[in-house]
Amino acid sequence: MELVAGAFSSAAEKSKQQGKELFLNSNRVYGSYREMAERESRLPQDERIDFVSIVTPNHHHFEIAQTFITAGFHVVCDKPMTTTLADAEELCRLVKQHEVVFALTHNYTGYPMVKQARELVRQGTLGTIRKIVVEYPQGWLANFLEGAGAKQAVWRTDPQQAGVAGCFGDIGSHAENLAHYLTGLEIEEICADLTTFVPGRKLDDDANTLVHYENGARGIMYASQISIGEENNLRIRVYGSEAGLEWRQEDPNYLHVRRLDGPEQVYKHGNNYLAPVAVHNSRLPFGHPEAFIEAFANIYRNAGRTIAAKIAGTTPGEFDTDFPTVQDGARGVHFIHAVVQSSQRRGWMQARYTPPQ
């Protein structure tokens, strides 16, 4: 992939300066995303961009994605995909209508050992899934940082920019996506409790959710941004009738599998004994730390190979379509809104969702 064009700020001058620092042709550094989509679409097919990467605050995702999809461009977008379910479902329809590739950067699914864990579940190593425990504690918003003008805190705690949920929309959505990616199970019911601990904050900064899955499995999802001392401690444990597994994002190169009748087994990244899909997504030799940036790169690489195949009129490789899609994005937006509604009602509610095809 080569970065050849962009709109890098809502301020035209800042965009131009950023383009200069990236050594781009000034003619392809734009003052707005609308200008970018319009002018790029007028270029010959072999000169225009092939896809756009959307890395803005949440409230801009829909309008930017809509603009580029309808102009015929493929899209890679940050999560949550949109701030409303109606917008999420509209993107599902547009992606199908215009036959474009849409990838969502739930980057934790890009880790090799997450893919290994999913393969163990698929192969039946765990038996019937009984319980899923996924947590994502952070501590960076334990104080009123948005009041001090901290840029990331300002928009992530603003309902006009972040959407209906704060902590759960930001990192709780990763917990939902990771659990679904590993197990393939759909959520049937939830009971959520959202709390805002920091005075003056407009959105939740801590959340606890009980989950009922389609096969009778039970789950716990916990997300927090006021858990002092925590950094990005995303952790998932899946327990079946035969075995259990555990993976931690802060120690991502190791996958732990535990059984009743034997010692703990530890899978390590970069080894050839791993499932082919895990090997396919391994970038570094074993013993060398492989982490957050490589996981993001795997999402982009797989999406890029799928886009290249689409352009060439060929079939993507066996593992190249393994990235979160627009349907995953719609499922996530639905879940965020269901969590907020459950917390407001202070009780259980149905949460089953089937994204439009």
The predicted-structure confidence for 284-293, as pLDDT tens digits, reads as follows 999 999 999 9
pLDDT digits (tens, 9 = 90+) for 197-248: 999 999 999 999 999 999 999 999 999 999 999 999 999 999 999 999 999 9
What total of structural domains would you count in the chain?
1
Residue 306 in domain? no
pLDDT digits (tens, 9 = 90+) for 73-101: 999 999 999 999 999 999 999 999 999 99
Residue 37 in domain? no
Residue 26 in domain? no
Give the residue numbers spanning the domain of 248.
111-284+325-350
Residue 213 in domain? yes
In this predicted structure, what is the pLDDT of residue 355? 78
In this predicted structure, what is the pLDDT of residue 356? 75
C-beta atoms surrounding 24 within 10 Å: 17
Residue 99 in domain? no
In this predicted structure, what is the pLDDT of residue 259? 96
Section 292-309 average pLDDT: 97
In this predicted structure, what is the pLDDT of residue 157? 96
CATH number (domain holding residue 163): 3.30.360.10
Sign of the C-alpha dihedral computed for residues 173, 354, 299 and 39 taken in this order: negative
Section 147-153 average pLDDT: 95
The confidence band for 357, taking pLDDT boundaries of 50, 70 and 90, is low
pLDDT digits (tens, 9 = 90+) for 241-284: 999 999 999 999 999 999 999 999 999 999 999 999 999 999 99
Residue 12 in domain? no
pLDDT at 103 over 90: yes
The CA distance from 89 to 128, in Å, is 32
Residue 82 in domain? no
Q: Is 312 exposed, middle or buried (0-12, 13-18, 19+ CB in 10 A)?
A: exposed
